[in-house]
Amino acid sequence: MTLHPMTLHPVAWWLWALAAASVAARTTNVVLLVLVAVAVGRVVALRRPASGAPAGFGMFLRLALTVVAIRVVLQALFVGSTGATVMFSVPQVPLPAWMAGVSLGGPVTAEAALAAVGDGGRLAVVLLCVGAANTLATPARLLRYLPRGLQAFGLATSVALTAAPALAVAFTRIRKARRLRGLPVGGVRGAVTIVVPVLEEALDRALVTASALESRGFGRRGEMSRGARALSGAALLSGPVLVVAGAYLLLGSRSVPAAVVAGGAGLVAAGLGVGGLGLRLAGSGLVSTRYRPDPWGAPEWVAVAAGAAAAALAGFALPARVAHPDPWSLQPPVLDPAAVLAVALLVVPSLPAFPNWGFPFAGFRFRGFRFKTFRGPAVALRDRP
């Protein structure tokens, strides 16, 4: 099946991917992890933007497989294996007495290998979810929606994220051009002759970017008093400090009194409030516009709601025997209706009918506005006179 690419709001794609990662992080069931990975891969394959690079998700897939392999190798070589079903043995290296409890080599059992696959697979699927979000909505698109107070940080990060791929493309193009001309491309001499044009092109691109920023008035500020500027800086500094202090108290909630836990929660809430106030004050003095903002409509709400429902099912409805099967019994992992429903909800953005849900008024005119469906949702555009 081949569907037309659909561009959702980048925040919606990242929220959906984080929900899928939450489902994967709450289980070591190999079958459920494979189903989540297949669901995420299906959405990426069918909804990847036309300009998206498929190699990006492939890189995350290779990284995920590498994580599983490393986890199994570490289990076999260093952690040791317990269980009755011995698959093979690795030559064991004797260790000194002061390293008691650590083994190097020995028998590798099926129970230990299955446990390692479950633990490694959980991290691998989380990485796949991050790769899916990165493919469906690049971080550069997401950074456009940072608060105004972080506008400079978002722009600098966006430029940095796009600089490395641009340099790689320039390097490949220049190297290919030199090879076609019969010029050397290998060795120190070839590298020097390639690096200089690449750096020259990077400098030209930087000058073009600076000119574009200057022409658009980047960095201009509105009227903001000195007191408001000082208050915003203090709030931006104290907010994260309060959040970290509160999180530190909450992490020790098993061994500290309930009053301390309540105080930690209060510090986290206060830190979030102070940080939000600082961002609001810092952004009040900025004058900025947004070029071609992404609309947020029914498809975004459906994707986010489906991901949130899947995460809620994985967090509250999965029984322990499904979420964390016992690998030492060598019984095949089982699924229940909640697990199947969670996976089905993650596949919702890839359904053929998804782009046009909730838009029965495409083409409808009302008081000078016409509704037209570009990427699925109906966008209101004022008719030209």
Are residues 64 and 116 both part of a single domain?
A: yes
Is residue 107 a part of any domain in this protein?
yes
Half-sphere exposure (Cβ direction) of 353: Cα atoms closer than 13 Å: 3
Q: Which amino acid is at 226?
A: R
Indicate the number of domains in the chain: 4
For the ranges 33-42, 165-174, 339-348, the lowest mean pLDDT is seen at: 165-174
Same domain, 95 and 134: yes
Query: Minimal CA–CA distance to 76: which of 53, 38, 98, 106?
Result: 106
Q: What is the pLDDT of residues 35-67, one digit of tens each?
A: 999 999 999 888 887 655 545 788 888 889 999
- Confidence at 122, pLDDT banded by 50, 70, 90: very high
Q: What is the pLDDT of residue 319?
A: 86
Residue 318 phi/psi, 5-degree rounding, is -80, 125
Q: Which two tokens stand for residue 228?
A: 């408001």
Task: Report percent pLDDT > 90 for the chain.
Answer: 14
Report in angstroms the alpha-carbon separations of 132 from 21, 48, 127, 152, 367: 10, 9, 9, 27, 41
Given 252, 284, 316, the domain boundary residue is: 284
pLDDT above 80 for 359: no
Compare 15 and 375 and report the one with higher pLDDT.
15
Please state the φ and ψ torsions of residue 218, each to the nearest 5 degrees: -65, 140
Question: Are β-strands 106-109 and 365-366 bridged in parallel, bridged antiparallel, or unpaired?
Answer: unpaired
Residues 322 and 204 both lie in one domain: no
Residues 65 and 179 in one domain: no
Residue 183 near residue 192, CB atoms below 8 Å? no
pLDDT, one tens digit per residue, over 68-95 is: 999 888 877 776 667 677 777 777 777 7
- Whether 167 maps to a domain, the answer reads yes
67: Cβ contacts below 8 Å, ≥ 6 apart: 120, 123, 124, 127
Residues 6+ apart with CB under 8 A from 48: 5, 54, 57, 135, 136
Residues 130 and 205 placed together within one structural domain of the fold? no
Q: What is the pLDDT of residue 310?
A: 93
Q: Distance between CA atoms of 128 and 36, rounded to whole angstroms?
A: 10
Last residue of a domain, one of 235, 257, 284: 284
DSSP class of 381 = E
- CA atoms of 303 and 354, how far apart (whole Å): 9
- Residue 245 included in any domain: yes
Lowest mean pLDDT among 25-29, 66-70, 153-157, 182-186: 153-157
pLDDT score of 2: 45
305 and 274 fall within a common domain: no
Q: Write down the pLDDT at residue 354.
A: 63
What Rg value do the Cα atoms of the chain yield, rounded?
Answer: 27
| Banded pLDDT at 383 (limits 50, 70, 90) | very low
The C-alpha atoms of residue 134 and residue 42 are separated, in whole angstroms, by 15
Q: Which residue has the higher pLDDT, 240 or 148?
A: 240
The reply to whether 24 and 109 lie within a common domain is yes
pLDDT at 381: 34
Q: Quick one: pLDDT at residue 305?
A: 92
* Helices of type H across the chain: 10-25, 30-47, 54-74, 110-136, 139-143, 151-180, 187-215, 226-251, 258-284, 298-316, 320-323, 337-346
Q: Is 367 inside any structural domain?
A: yes
In this structure, the answer to whether residues 129 and 51 fall within a common structural domain is: yes
Query: Looking at the predicted structure, is the pLDDT value of residue 16 above 90?
Result: yes
pLDDT computed for residue 161 by the predictor: 64
Average pLDDT, integer, range 181-206: 79
| 71 and 119 co-located in one domain | yes
Rounded to an integer, the average pLDDT of 341-351 is 91
Average pLDDT value over all residues in the chain: 76
**128/203 same-domain check:** no
Do 277 and 238 contact (CB within 8 A), yes or no? no
In a domain, 36, yes or no: yes
State whether 105 and 15 are in the same domain.
Answer: yes
Range of the domain at 111: 10-142+295-352
Q: Which residue did the predictor score with more confidence, 38 or 289?
A: 38
Residue, of 296 and 382, whose pLDDT is higher = 296
Please report whether residue 365 resides in a domain.
yes
Tell whether 382 is covered by a domain: yes
Please say which residue of 215, 250, 268 terminates a domain: 215
Q: Which of 86-90, 108-112, 144-148, 271-275 has the highest mean pLDDT?
A: 271-275
Domain identity same for 14 and 78:
yes
Whether 221 maps to a domain, the answer reads no
Sequence-separated (6 or more) residues with CB below 8 Å from residue 176 = none
The mean per-residue pLDDT over the stretch 95-99 comes to 71
